Chains A and B, each alone.
Chain A
Amino acid sequence: MKKNEYLQTESTNRTDGSLFCMEGADRGFAKEVSQRSGVITDLCWHCKCCSGGCPFAHAMDFLPNQVIRMVQLGIREQVLSCGAIWLCVGCNTCSMECPTAIDMAAVMDALRQMAIEQGEAIAEPDILNFHREVINSIYRHGRTHKLEIMLRYKLQTRKWLSDMNTGLRMMSKRKLDLRPSKVTHIAAIRRMFRQNPGGRP
């Protein structure tokens, strides 16, 4: 199916309480997203206010409301492997516009976490790598250490030369401290990580 075809499926009001009828739709998926995010995605009526206001929609493969549409239709694999869920920065711009108060950032959080847990293809591995390096830094110090995050991120993505200049300018202005700022009682932080039901992210 081409990118947009399955987003144009006719919707009908149904007596079983669900708003959409599609042969083979995986309704369990929408439920799972709702449970994790606390958002009832069926409330979205695709007015597209969110997509119109999202500052990063231009870079996304699917618009924010299309992501919701895919959840409603239960197209699990496509939505979990799309790039939009990674490009969303959770700025809440869309939620301020949404007439039904859909918490888009929470939906995107849930989808990303499901993509990782369920081993889906990650459309934006660099973005995931960056998040992992931030979290690793918190594991080590309890706080983020920008220089270390940047170096390890570069090591992961092998993009050494890009942004060299920016890094050096920041160093010269002492914006990248060589030493991390640290939590003293680091055991409390490590324990929090150990108790993580999802394991080390």
Chain B
Amino acid sequence: MNNLNTLQYSYFPGCSLATSAKESNRSLISFCRQQGVELTELRDWNCCGSSSAHSIDAHLAHHLPARNLALAPPDRPLLVACPSCYLRLKRTHMEIAEDSAAREEFQRMWGRRFDPDLEIVSFFEMLSMIVDQGRLKGLSGRLNGLRFAPYYGCMLMRPPKMRREHTFHGLMEKVLSQTGAEPVRWPHKARCCGTFLSVSRPLVAAKSVQTIMDGAARANAECIVTACAMCHLNLEIRSTRPGRIPVLYFSELLSLAGGIGQGEGWFRRHLIDPRPLLRRHHLIA
């Protein structure tokens, strides 16, 4: 399906990457381009429903992701950038695949046969594939000596139905180590950031965020690395104590490691300014 030189993916950015986390979106696209991965944004995609639909409305929680599945061209895998959108889309795909009534309903609603073979992949899955095939290119010691705390949050968690799915725990450490960066050992890499509690019960979320921030700082990390826009936002807006450290997107660091992104203005958009740190490491001017 894919020729050897370029990999073709449909691309689902999700609401956060399309708006508040543009720096994550753009760095991910730049990195993919550098690695010979061509992304075509899913035409007219819609919100997956996020936590709110599955919290209060089972109908929308099912059909919002389903419409996106119906939009996906059959000839290429669908890359879902946001870890929580990924879970929603993948789970809905599993549910429809298992249930003939749901398949019929899908066809009735979207005028298209449900494709049980549609491959839905997360950024981690795609990256891991590139690494395993030995085709990761251009990342050399540029991040030398950068101490980072790899933060996965609930990305490492799966509902029981999806237990056999790979979580790619350790991928950030593995790939960034190849670029000279040094992962610190710390206890909170899988602690949930609080998601929507950050809005409606800010003190509860702040407690989680503070634990994460303090843990990373205590482990002597210079920055936290995340792949999730929700985690990124919560860590930035709900940490208040002095001594807090910058939070970088995995894709931003991958881009810098590959020698791209220095002048793109991604880092200006951060609420905890990472530029002094990046300058110290000669990664930006």
Contacts and interface: CB of A to CB of B under 8 A. Distances in A.
Q: Do A and B come from one complex?
A: yes
A128 B56 CA distance: 8
A192 B67 contact: yes
A172 to B, nearest CB: 9
Contacts, number: 167
Contact of A143 (B15, B57, B269): B15
A29 interface: no
B53 interface: yes
Interface string B27-53: 000000000000000001111011111
Secondary structure call for the B interface: helix
Interface in B152-177: 153-154, 156-161, 163
B60 A201 contact: yes
A112 B56 contact: yes
A101 B154 contact: no
Given A91-B154, A144-B47, A131 B52 contact: yes
Contacts of B46: 138, 142-143, 183, 189
B201 interface: yes
Contact of B19 (A92, A96, A146): A146
Interface residues of A, number: 64
Interface string A68-109: 000000000000000000010111110110100111011001
Nearest to B110: A188
Contacts of B201: 59, 87, 124, 126-127
Given A127-B201, A170-B271, A116 B56 contact: yes
B59 A105 contact: no
Interface stretch (B1-9, B141-149, B187-195): B187-195
Contacts of B109: 192
Nearest to A109: B54
- Among A55, A106, A153, A196, find the residue whose CB has the most chain B CB atoms closer than 10 A: A55
A185 B191 CA distance: 38
A193 B160 contact: no
A131 B208 CA distance: 21
A150 B233 CA distance: 14
Contacts of B133: none
A135 B18 CA distance: 18
Nearest to B160: A101
A17 interface: no
B60 A95 contact: no
B56 A181 contact: no
A113 B191 contact: no
A24 interface: no
A163 B233 CA distance: 14
B49 A196 contact: no
Contacts of A163: 202
Contacts of A95: 157-160
Interface of B: 15, 18-21, 44-47, 49-61, 63-64, 67, 109, 153-154, 156-161, 163, 190-192, 194-197, 199-202, 204, 207-208, 233, 237, 268-271
18 contacts: A55-B208, A56-B204, A59-B204, A87-B201, A89-B194, A89-B195, A89-B196, A101-B163, A113-B58, A127-B200, A130-B200, A131-B52, A134-B53, A143-B47, A144-B47, A144-B50, A175-B271, A196-B60
3 shortest A-B CB distances, which residue pairs?
A92-B157, A134-B52, A101-B160
Given A101-B163, A135-B53, 8 more contacts: A91-B157, A93-B157, A109-B58, A127-B197, A144-B47, A185-B44, A196-B57, A201-B56
